[in-house]
């Protein structure tokens, strides 16, 4: 039973998670242990419905023996937490190897990458797009003959520059031959949102109801999230993403951002039925993001949406007094992130007093003004906005001793 196809057909959203596979093209390398932990953690976002909501792309087995073993470990050790996928080129030996890497794992899949445009076909396989697509169709049939338990998906590379009618015919024929998903990839990340929506609408309409499409957009122009939302609006329910957005070149849509938006605003992007069998547990997102950052060396920045180090922080006056007016959501209620007041060169007397109280000091008005002046001067002297707690605590010790000592 193809639980991913069934979920999509029922209107549920499935996330095709790419941080271990496409993320490698961002010059990162996850150990087998890290991939297993991440697969399990991603599945737990949806509880027992992990396999119905998450396809975890474990890797590209043809890279080397070590990569094959990493994919195999995920298939064995993350079984039941997610649907595990191996990705391969459109060549028979690669497909056979990918099948072996996930064989025996429940809900396992392989994704075969086939060029859809003539330009990409000439670059990848030195053939025309029509010839490459025919090879892709033959590979689907061969894979289904070899192992009818492993689902076989086809990723149409450079779909954004390919002919929609040709892709629709292929999608219909490949699905009739046993393909699970037909993934339309904006391989170079240059597709504009209106064009993306039009592509999916045209292909979906011409391909027929039996075809299950998926999106795989890259973020070179910063449009991967917008294009994913366009695909969803066009009726697509399987969408590729990556934790922290890590993927080839400028990456792709960030898993944490996509899940957050769909969980908070399902009616805005998914018409009709609820998008979930089990709604995602958003409080798990920050911890998974930190796990991926540690495993890949990709740092969380202050500007990362949803999971960045700036989420839940306050450093200026009016936001400190009325935080609900300056945030799109409550980080504590939604994500479990405790609010944290930081001392910077922008601090007001109220911010200074609050940070001092956190460090165990009660300041009067004159002390607060003195501490505020000290903090601003220190920030500019050091060239660093945030004043470390230790430095401020040392200053406060001296300030309160001086003001409390007898004259």
CATH of the domain at 157: 3.20.20.70
Cα-trace Rg, the chain: 25
Q: What share of the chain is helix, strand, coil (3-state, %, to 5)?
A: 55, 15, 35
Is 45 found in the same domain as 14? yes
Contact 55, 85 (CB under 8 A): yes
Taking the C-alpha atoms of residue 267 and residue 279, their distance in angstroms, rounded to an integer, is 14
Contact 246, 257 (CB under 8 A): no
Residues 321, 198 share a domain? no
In a domain, 306, yes or no: no
Note whether residue 301 is domain-resident.
no
pLDDT at 316: 85
Predicted confidence (pLDDT) at residue 236 exceeds the cutoff of 60: yes
pLDDT over threshold 90, residue 318: no
C-alpha angle 165-166-167 in degrees, rounded to nearest 5: 90
51 in Cβ contact with 106 (< 8 Å): yes
Instruction: Indicate if 29 and 172 belong to the same structural domain.
Output: yes
pLDDT over 90 at 402, yes or no: no
Dump the DSSP string for 146-160.
H-SSSEEEEEEETGG
396 shares its domain with 277: no
Instruction: Report the number of distinct structural domains present in the chain.
Output: 2
Strand bridging mode 109-115 / 83-89: parallel
Q: Are residues 234 and 176 in the same domain?
A: yes
pLDDT at 407 over 50: no
Query: What's the pLDDT band for 317 if we cut at 50, 70, 90?
Result: confident
Same domain, 340 and 247: no
Same domain, 237 and 320: no
Full residue range of the structural domain in which residue 92 is found: 3-296
Residue 304 within any structural domain of the chain: no
Q: Which residues neighbour 349 within 8 Å (Cβ) at sequence distance 6 or greater?
A: 365, 368, 369, 372
**Domain shared by 265 and 387, yes or no:** no
Q: Alpha-carbon distance 99 to 145, whole Å?
A: 11
The verdict on 284 and 322 lying in the same domain is no
Q: What is the pTM of this model?
A: 0.92
Chain centroid to Cα 21, Å, comes to 12
Model confidence at 403: pLDDT above 60 = no
**Can you name the residues that pair with 156 across neighbouring β-strands?**
114, 184
């Amino acid at each position: 039973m193809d639980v991913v196809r069934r979920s999509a057909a029922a209107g549920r959203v499935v996330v095709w998670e790419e941080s271990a596979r496409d993320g490698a093209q961002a010059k990162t390398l996850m150990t087998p242990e890290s991939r297993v932990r991440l697969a399990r953690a991603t599945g737990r976002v949806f509880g027992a419905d992990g396999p119905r909501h998450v396809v975890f792309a474990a890797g590209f087995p043809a890279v080397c023996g070590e990569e094959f073993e990493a994919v195999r470990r995920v298939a064995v050790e993350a079984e039941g937490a997610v649907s595990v996928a191996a990705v391969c080129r459109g060549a028979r030996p690669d497909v056979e190897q990918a099948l072996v890497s996930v064989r025996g794992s429940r809900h396992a899949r392989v994704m075969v990458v086939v060029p859809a445009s003539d330009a990409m076909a000439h670059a990848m396989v030195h053939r025309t797009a029509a010839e490459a697509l025919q090879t892709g169709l033959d590979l689907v049939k061969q894979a289904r003959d070899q192992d009818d338990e492993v689902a076989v998906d086809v990723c149409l590379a450079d779909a954004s520059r390919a002919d929609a009618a040709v892709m629709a015919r292929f999608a219909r024929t490949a699905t009739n031959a046993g393909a699970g998903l037909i993934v339309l990839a904006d391989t170079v990340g240059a597709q504009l949102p209106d064009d993306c929506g039009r592509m999916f609408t045209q292909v979906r309409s011409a391909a027929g109801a039996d075809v299950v499409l998926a999106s795989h957009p890259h973020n070179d122009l910063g449009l991967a999230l917008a294009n994913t939302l366009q695909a969803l609006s066009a009726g697509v329910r399987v969408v590729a993403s990556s934790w922290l957005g890590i993927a080839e070149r400028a990456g792709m849509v960030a898993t944490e951002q996509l899940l957050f938006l769909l969980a908070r605003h399902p009616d805005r992007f998914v018409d009709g039925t609820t998008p979930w069998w089990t709604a995602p547990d958003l409080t798990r997102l920050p911890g998974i993001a930190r796990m991926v950052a540690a495993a890949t060396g990709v740092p969380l920045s202050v500007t990362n949406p949803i999971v960045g180090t700036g989420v839940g922080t306050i450093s200026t006056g009016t936001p400190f007094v009325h935080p609900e007016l300056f945030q799109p959501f409550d980080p504590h209620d939604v994500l479990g992130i405790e609010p944290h007041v930081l001392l910077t060169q922008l601090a007001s007397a109220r911010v200074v007093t609050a940070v001092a109280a956190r460090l165990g000091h009660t300041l009067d008005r004159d002390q607060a003004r003195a501490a505020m002046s000290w903090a601003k001067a220190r920030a500019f002297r050091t060239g660093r906005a945030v004043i470390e707690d230790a430095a401020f605590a040392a200053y406060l010790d001296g300030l309160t001793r001086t003001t409390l000592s007898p004259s």
